[in-house]
Amino acid sequence: MTSPVRVRYISCRTHRDVARAIRDMSIRGAPAIGCAAAFGMALAAKERPFKRSKDLTVQLEKARLCLGATRPTAVNLFWALERMARVYKNPKILNLPMALEQEALAIHTEDRASCHAIGDAGARLLPKKAVVLTHCNAGALATAGYGTAVGVIRSAHRQGKIKRVYVDETRPYLQGARLTAWELDQEGIPYEILTDNMAGHILKTEKLDAIIVGADRIAANGDTANKIGTYSLAILAQYHGVPFYVAAPFSTVDRATPTGAAIPIEERSVEEVVKFRGFSIAPKGAQARHPAFDVTPAKLITAIITERGVFSPRRLLR
Ligand code: MRU
């Protein structure tokens, strides 16, 4: 777990610990949630000694429901749980705890590799001395490592291509200011934080080469759910003629969801809007809303950068 001043690791010993960590956002970011849920299933298989494999399957189904009930929008969670279910439903597998651990490790390893491939594919799209803007945190802390949108920035930085990164602070949870800025700091990548309402002015008055964001779920038609505020950025990008890139692994693509309208949007506590670290920033009893994600229509997305290459959103599933 990170804050701008402290790095602390949390030990999860049971699938319930993992579910709690996802729900309270100690683990957040779509690919990281998927990886964690997979390890939660591997832990569930070891929590009690079972005499009969039928009992273990019942326990695993309960664990799957518990982990699946944590956060609704990031499809990587359900993708990873489905992969783990294919393992424990396979009657040919005798040592389920070991097989589940191996599958979780494979999901983790594959996600890291995907991030590096996304980073390299995305870096090719950027010019020299690039000025880019990113929203929320789609970095190492949101994935198995390296990051998706931040992975693109890291790869481009290694090629000497990054002049500056604008980091949206990302109200109300401040993933940009707290996490992305911290990650860029660690990497020595030059950045400046913007409050979210500054993006329009910056796009109007300065030359930006790209906006790069992550994704929590990409519908079959390319509509993309990501952190609240992404949609407004995409509209600004189109108005100002700035390429708008989504960087995500294929585990974020949800073939079963035809369009963005069917993506479930998490509504979080309004406390996160009216308070900051327990301190009220609005009148007592103030009403507020807190949709945690929004959906950017495919037509506003220039390209989706994946581990399999760069696609126009409409061609992603062809
Ligand atoms: O609510 P969060 O912090 O889990 O939201 C995270 C995002 O919206 C990220 O941009 C997305 O999950 C992509 S992470 C590679």
Flag whether 8 is in a domain.
Answer: no
Q: Using CA positions, which residue lies closest to atom 15 of ligand 1?
A: 138
Q: How far is Cα 155 from Cα 67, in angstroms, rounded to an integer?
A: 33
Are 49 and 191 members of one domain? no
pLDDT digit string, tens, across residues 80-135: 999 999 999 999 998 999 999 999 999 999 999 999 999 999 999 999 999 999 99
Q: Which atom of ligand 1 is nearest to the CA of 30?
A: 12
Are 140 and 229 members of one domain? yes
Q: Please identify, among 94, 115, 136, the residue that sits at the C-terminal boundary of a domain.
A: 115
For residue 3, what pLDDT is reported? 59
Are 227 and 286 members of one domain? yes
Are 71 and 19 members of one domain? yes
Q: Using most ligand atoms within 8 A of CB, pick from 114, 218, 227 the residue to mutate for ligand 1.
A: 227
Flag whether 110 is in a domain.
Answer: yes
Are 134 and 247 members of one domain? yes
The CATH number for 270's domain is 3.40.50.10470
| 89 contact partners, CB below 8 Å, separation of at least 6 | 57
Are 133 and 96 members of one domain? no
Flag whether 30 is in a domain.
Answer: yes
- Per-residue pLDDT band at 310 (split at 50, 70, 90): very high
Flag whether 5 is in a domain.
Answer: no
Query: Does the global pTM surpass 0.85?
Result: yes
Six token digits for residue 284: 């007592």
pLDDT digit string, tens, across residues 38-69: 999 999 999 987 666 778 999 999 999 999 99
Q: Please identify, among 82, 115, 148, the residue that sits at the C-terminal boundary of a domain.
A: 115
Distance 263 CA to ligand 1 centre (A): 15
Distance 26 CA to ligand 1 centre (A): 12
Flag whether 1 is in a domain.
Answer: no
Are 98 and 130 members of one domain? no
For residue 318, what pLDDT is reported? 80
Are 46 and 133 members of one domain? no
For residue 48, what pLDDT is reported? 80
Are 29 and 143 members of one domain? no
For residue 70, what pLDDT is reported? 98
pLDDT digit string, tens, across residues 185-205: 999 999 999 999 999 999 999
- Average the pLDDT over each of 6-15, 146-155, 163-172 and give the range with the smallest value: 6-15
273: containing domain: 124-315
Ligand 1 first shell, C-beta below 6 A: 28-31, 74, 136, 138, 142-143, 148, 175, 214-216, 226-227, 292
Other Cβ atoms closer than 10 A to 241 = 8
Distance linking the first and last C-alpha atoms of the chain: 38
Q: Which atom of ligand 1 is nearest to the CA of 226?
A: 8
For residue 6, what pLDDT is reported? 85
Six token digits for residue 119: 């980073």
Flag whether 67 is in a domain.
Answer: yes
Six token digits for residue 78: 């359900």
| 6 contact partners, CB below 8 Å, separation of at least 6 | none
Flag whether 7 is in a domain.
Answer: no
| 65 contact partners, CB below 8 Å, separation of at least 6 | none
For residue 112, what pLDDT is reported? 98
For residue 202, what pLDDT is reported? 98
For residue 241, what pLDDT is reported? 98
Q: Using most ligand atoms within 8 A of CB, pick from 2, 169, 226 the residue to mutate for ligand 1.
A: 226
| Distances, alpha carbon 160 to alpha carbons 131, 182, 258, in Å | 12, 20, 39
Indicate whether 1 pLDDT > 60: no
Q: How far is Cα 67 from Cα 69, in angstroms, rounded to an integer?
A: 5
- Count of domains for the chain: 2
Catalytic residues: 216
Nearest partner of 35 among 86, 93, 74, 88, judged by Cα = 74
Are 210 and 271 members of one domain? yes
Distance 281 CA to ligand 1 centre (A): 25
CA-derived radius of gyration, the chain:
20
pLDDT digit string, tens, across residues 224-280: 999 999 999 999 999 999 999 999 999 999 999 999 999 999 999 999 999 998 899
| Distances, alpha carbon 218 to alpha carbons 73, 75, 314, in Å | 10, 8, 11
The CATH number for 21's domain is 1.20.120.420
Are 131 and 64 members of one domain? no
pLDDT digit string, tens, across residues 240-254: 999 999 999 999 999
Flag whether 236 is in a domain.
Answer: yes
Q: Please identify, among 115, 141, 163, the residue that sits at the C-terminal boundary of a domain.
A: 115
Q: Using most ligand atoms within 8 A of CB, pick from 22, 33, 175 the residue to mutate for ligand 1.
A: 175
Nearest partner of 43 among 63, 71, 69, judged by Cα = 63
Are 73 and 185 members of one domain? no
